[in-house]
Amino acid sequence: MDINHSFYQLTPDSILNAIESLGYEPTGRFYPLNSVENRVYDIETSNSGRIVVKFYRPGKWSQFEILEEHEFLQELTLGEIPVLTPISIKGKTLFEWLGIYFAIWPLRNGRIVEEITGSNLERVGALLGRIHSIGKQSDSKHRPVLDIPSYGLKSLNFILENNLIPNQSLAERYKVTALRSFEIFESLVKEYQIPFQRIHGDCHKGNLLISQDGYSILDFDDFLTGPIVQDFWMLLPLGEENRKDDLFQFLKGYTMFADFDENWLQLVEPLRIVRYVHYAAWIAKRWKDPSFPSLFPHFGTEEYWLKETLDLESAKKDLEENSVNETPSPKNVEPEMTNKDFFWDWEN
């Protein structure tokens, strides 16, 4: 049986049979949750209340990579950090059904954060600082690295080698712009000796939940090794005139628990550009998934690639012309940065 076909065609019966195999007694009531990459369901059971079942997309992660995600979450939980840890059944957190890996998670009620303001900036900064302080304590053995060879070039080469950009002149512009941005990324890492460590990797507001117990961070599916500012720029609405001290307030909380060098923020713009390229390749690799053509109806058109190329060129120009001369820390000045607020895979 084609595993991908089984994943695309997960039926209510197969979903419920999977959790029954672990001893759960489903009532028959379940709700699909809004997840693009994986298949996630809120399921009611008569013996354990409501649980969340996550079926991992075949081919994205190996068994070892998924288990390392679970282990990192367990480390964070032992550190009393509010994250969701998969439920262990007979000493296991990862299971298999029809060739598809899946895990069971507790249901956490709360609401997605629309905006982080005021004293909440310091609280969220402290939460992320605690996560990064534990992330720094050991290295990842199996998860990917957010660097140019494995994260940037692989994505760019996939786009070019598969002739995804129909206009060759446009493809050349896209290539030249991406490669120049990648060079700047690597030069900044080298110049400022920017450290890489275990990070969330997809830390946007859609993965930040607030409840009566406070803030918690969800969905470590893209957990990897990378620079800590990857988790900053996706979370903070930087650059708005009336919120110029947001980063300052955030760092007051963050630096209570983790180290920070203001020079590391110079990697923010290159990280945005790498994500542009990586995201386009991600969509292309998922195109056989029946849900993707309807989710991204304009993907692959010349208009799509023209916009992508213009966005890349604009970002590269900003990167080359508007280097950050002074960056705020809890002891100095206010930020002057930009954030185009693009969160393509926001899972509300």
Same domain, 137 and 205: yes
76 shares its domain with 162? no
Structural domain ending residue among the three candidates 86, 107, 128:
107
| Residue 207 assigned ligand-binding role | yes
112 in any annotated domain: no
74 three-class SS: helix
| Cα radius of gyration rounded to whole Å, the chain | 21
Would 325 be classed as within a structural domain? yes
The answer as to whether 140 is a domain residue is yes
Same domain, 67 and 135: no
Does residue 114 fall inside a structural domain? Answer: no
CATH number of the domain encompassing residue 321: 1.10.510.10
Distances (CA, A) of 207 to 38, 197, 199, 285: 15, 20, 14, 23
Range list of H helices, 227-346: 229-233, 246-254, 268-285, 291-295, 302-321
> Are 103 and 140 in a shared domain?
no
Domain shared by 300 and 200, yes or no = yes
Q: Which domain holds residue 18?
A: 3-107
**Was 219 annotated as part of a binding site?**
yes
| Domain-located, residue 59 | yes
Could you tell me whether strands 100-106 and 95-97 are parallel, antiparallel, or unpaired per DSSP bridges? antiparallel
Whole-number Å distance between alpha carbons of 19 and 14 = 9
15 and 46 both lie in a single domain: yes
Residue 113 included in any domain: no
How much is the pLDDT for 5?
65
Q: Are 45 and 22 in contact (CB under 8 A)?
A: no
In a domain, 164, yes or no: yes
Q: Tell me the C-alpha to C-alpha distance, in Å, between residue 195 and each of 53, 71, 147.
A: 35, 22, 11
Is 346 domain-assigned? no
pTM for this prediction = 0.87
Dump pLDDT digits (tens) for 50-85. Answer: 999 999 999 999 999 999 999 999 999 999 999 999
Please give the pLDDT value at position 348.
42
Q: Which residue numbers in the chain have pLDDT < 70?
A: 1-5, 237-244, 322-348
Judgement on whether residues 56 and 141 belong to the same structural domain of the protein:
no
| Same domain, residue pair 39 and 98 | yes
**Boundary residue ending a domain (107, 130, 151):** 107
Same domain, 196 and 130: yes
User: How many domains does one find in the chain?
Assistant: 2
Q: Which of 107, 135, 151 is the last residue of a domain?
A: 107
What does the pLDDT read at residue 119? 87
| CATH number for the domain that contains residue 90 | 3.30.200.70
In this structure, the answer to whether residues 43 and 131 fall within a common structural domain is no
- How many CB atoms lie under 10 A from the CB of residue 160? 16
Task: Indicate which residues carry an active-site annotation.
Answer: 202, 219
CB count within 10 Å of CB 280 equals 25
The pLDDT value given to residue 8? 87
94 and 101 Cβ atoms separated by less than 8 Å: yes
pLDDT computed for residue 115 by the predictor: 83
Please indicate, yes or no, whether residues 67 and 168 belong to a single structural domain of this protein: no
